[in-house]
Amino acid sequence: MPSKATSAPPKVVKTYKLYINGAFPRSESGRSLPVKDAKGRVLAHVSHASRKDLRDAIEAAHAAHAKWANATAYNRGQVLYRIAEMIQSREEECVALLCATGEITRKDARAEVDLSIDRCIAWAGWADKIAAVLGGKQPVAGPYLVFSTPEPIGVVVAIAPEKHPLLGLLSVLLPALAVGNAVVLCCGGRNLLLAATFGEALATSDVPAGVANVLTGRISELIPWIASHRDVHACIAAGLSKAETRTLELGAAENMKRVTILDRNIDLTQSPVLHSPFLAERLVEIKTVWHPSTL
């Protein structure tokens, strides 16, 4: 008689998709990247975004921008607070994903999740206060007053650092969202599991489809197309190499795209820059209105 199988069935390795326009498409290229643990075992595969995927995400952000920009600042703050709630509800999952590759202890992973929730709440609080910091009323010569108010610049590409996968992506994403921009978040590096699942949290939050899109892959491949795309109005990036920074800045110079590069050695856990309203200053345009003064 044939012997009965006693071994456990093979584990099916999940392939995570991109998050574009509120949906989860595969990369049009069909490519994926393996994510491995410290022993070299494949934990999962993540979609490897291509130039076309980037273009699709930018088009989705462009279409969604007007509605998000016209939402009240108070409402945007509520939505960012909802992201904090979604991360907190997935706290154990986030800790497990951060620990999966064996590069961080469970204690440090939990600390990163807690800091990430705090950063969401901080930017949720800033959403309806940034206008008071960056704008204002200025007297000028003559019977006039000048009112200055910040307005979102449009479509922003946020490039997340490899270090601190969750805290890093939030540090470049939240300032752009808080002031009313639509964002394409690009994530690379060794631990892409957190970035790949972050889209699932966005999909079940109150962020409108297309306002925040998540691409995973190799940042060095995407940077030339990010820099040259004329529907990208600004870029905020952290953790880039000198070569990647040079490629981005030279490419963006051709179309006058605003580029904000955070220091590669910035302390993502403590730097006051990362929760300062002035980080969002380069992601807005200042509109100036002249008004007759009766004084």
| pLDDT band with cut points at 50, 70 and 90 for residue 294 | low
Whether the Cβ atoms of residue 171 and residue 163 lie closer than 8 Å to each other:
no
**CATH number for the domain that contains residue 262:** 3.40.605.10
**Residue 203: pLDDT above 80?**
yes
Rounded Cα distance, 133 and 106, in Å? 38
100 pLDDT band, cuts 50/70/90, is confident
Q: How many CB atoms lie within 10 A of CB 91?
A: 14
> Is residue 3 domain-resident?
no
Look over the chain and give the mean of its residue pLDDT values, rounded to a whole number.
91
With beta carbons less than 8 A apart as the criterion, state whether 207 and 77 touch: no
User: Chain centroid to CA 19: how far?
Assistant: 12
Query: Which residues have a Cβ under 8 Å from the Cβ of 166 and sit 6 or more positions away?
Result: 87, 94, 98, 112, 113, 116, 194, 198
**What residue spans of 190-255 are helical by DSSP H?**
193-203, 219-228, 242-253
> Count of domains in the chain?
1
pLDDT at 5 over 60: no
Where in the chain does DSSP place strands (E)? Answer: 15-16, 32-36, 42-47, 136-139, 144-152, 155-159, 182-187, 212-216, 234-237, 258-261, 284-292
Task: Answer whether residue 117 is part of any domain.
Answer: yes
Cα–Cα distance for residue pair 55/229, rounded to 1 Å: 8
Residue 101 to residues 67, 149, 165, 185, 262, Cα–Cα distance (Å): 39, 45, 12, 22, 26
| 245 occurs within a structural domain | yes
Q: Is residue 164 part of a domain?
A: yes
- The residue segments making up the domain with residue 40 are 15-292
How many residues are recorded in the chain? 295
Q: What percent of the chain has pLDDT over 70?
A: 96
What does the alpha-carbon distance between residue 257 and residue 253 come to, in Å, rounded to a whole number? Answer: 6
**Overall average pLDDT of the 201-215 stretch:** 93
Residue 8 counted as domain residue: no
Residue 7 lies in a domain: no
In a domain, 173, yes or no: yes
**Token pair listed for 202:** 């966005």
For residue 37, what pLDDT is reported?
A: 84
